[in-house]
A and B are shown apart, each in its own frame.
Chain A
Amino acid sequence: MGTIIDEDQALVAAAVKGSEQAWIDLVVRYESRIYNQALRLTGNSADALDLMQEVFIGIYKNLHRFRGESKFSSWVFRIVHNKSIDLARRWRPPVELKSSEEPDQLAKIPSTASDEPDEQIAQEQTNAQVQVLLGQLPIEQRLVVELKLFQSQTFEEISISQDISENTAKTRFYSALKKLKDLLEKNHAMP
């Protein structure tokens, strides 16, 4: 892990000096991760690609400001966070369900991969279910869930990266889980 951090910093330093190859290496290293983060935060591929592009433009413009005091991945996620907030302000949530429609919408999505023989389609369907779930959350809660469950950050790290107190981070996370729990329970209660 330490090596990855060192490699990141070396690539950043080289990219800042103008190395095109170093920048491409950084992009290759992070594009899939950022795209998947963006996919979970926006809920659809087109918005995720736009968000990914904006994030990389943000990274490139601010690359000289990265001092290596934190992990490059944390710094990158900070930019993802800012851009996501911008997007959330501009765009509607990816999936917005009225309470009466929630169970129907969720029921459309197969709950297991076995429903579809093709592995890739099954993966996309599983991911779509996650997107639908995350789409029910306000962007602030979605970001905390992203950091806690998908980036495995501690609440202390989340509080620093999100500029919120640790208690606020915990409250957002718990509220998000509770909301999703209620939603799943309703879904299972459907005949």
Chain B
Amino acid sequence: MQCPESVRCLSAYILDELVPSEREAFKNHVLGCAQCSAELASFESVKTALNSWDDEALPVSAVAHRERIRNLAKPLTKQEKASRLSPFNWWQWAPSALSFAVLVLVFMDASFLVAEDGFSVSFGGLKNDASVVQMVDREELQQVIARLEQRQDQNNIALMQAVLNQTRESSEANFQQLFAFFDQQRLNDLEQVRASYDQLAESDFETLRSLQQLASYVSFNEIVR
């Protein structure tokens, strides 16, 4: 069992939270209390054990770490500066550039023709006949480009027409569906009104018949009297 004084004051004593008079009183108590004395000695032994730490020198294996740390403030060499200024080296972009070039050639439907007098490049799937082989002057190239543009325009127009037709057709279909729906709705409403009217007329007719029966009964009584 723990001494009540120890429970009350020991942690405060260790954490140096006691006022001087309380501290003195607890010290006096410890002198006469074996439990508190042992408890306090245990805590002191922990502090003593921890305080036995003696600073160590950096190990031999710290050389690389030291070097890296000291080099943090080292001025950059010209090569380092250059690599920092131009972090994107051309060879990093070479594969992307090559892929882009191939893609462009594919889109342009390009073809190469090697002849005795050199080579020629053609675009737009032109036939490799003799006239095409000679097509290296600017004028012909412009013609090809113009043809390509024309074809592109035609394609665009065709595409737009297809889109418009599809839109119109789908709009028509939608309107027809809408009209059919409204018409059906109107017929349903009429049917409902007619049913309600019949029901009302039926109920009125029953009321009339009851009144007639009542009148007959009354007139019969009058005759009897």
Shortest Cβ gap from B121 to chain A (Å): 54
Residues of chain B within 8 A (CB-CB) of A20 are 73-75
Q: Does B14 contact A (CB under 8 A)?
A: yes
Q: Is the CB of B72 within 8 A of A56?
A: yes
Known: A39-B56, A129-B49. A185 touches B42 (CB 8 A): yes
Q: Is the CB of A45 within 8 A of B50?
A: no
Q: Is the CB of B55 within 8 A of A36?
A: yes
Q: Does B66 contact A (CB under 8 A)?
A: yes
Q: Is the CB of B50 within 8 A of A145?
A: yes
**Which A1-52 residues sit within 8 Å CB-CB of chain B?**
15, 18-20, 22-24, 27, 31-33, 35-36, 39-40, 45-46, 49-50, 52
Q: Is the CB of A181 within 8 A of B70?
A: no
**Which A120-151 residues sit within 8 Å CB-CB of chain B?**
123-124, 126-127, 129-130, 133-134, 145, 149-150
Q: Is the CB of B72 within 8 A of A177?
A: no
Q: Is the CB of A57 within 8 A of B14?
A: no
Give the size of the chain A interface in residues (CB under 8 angstroms): 45
CA distance A71 to B93 in the complex (A): 49
Q: Is the CB of A177 within 8 A of B69?
A: no
**Which B73-105 residues sit within 8 Å CB-CB of chain A?**
73-75
Give the size of the chain B interface in residues (CB under 8 angstroms): 31
Q: Is the CB of A177 within 8 A of B43?
A: yes
Q: Is the CB of B46 within 8 A of A32?
A: no
Known: A32-B57, A35-B62, A181-B46. 10 other contacts (CB 8 A): A18-B73, A32-B55, A45-B61, A56-B72, A57-B69, A130-B53, A134-B50, A145-B50, A177-B43, A180-B50
Residues of A in contact with B (beta carbons under 8 Å apart): 15, 18-20, 22-24, 27, 31-33, 35-36, 39-40, 45-46, 49-50, 52-53, 56-57, 60, 123-124, 126-127, 129-130, 133-134, 145, 149-150, 155, 170, 173-174, 177-178, 180-181, 184-185
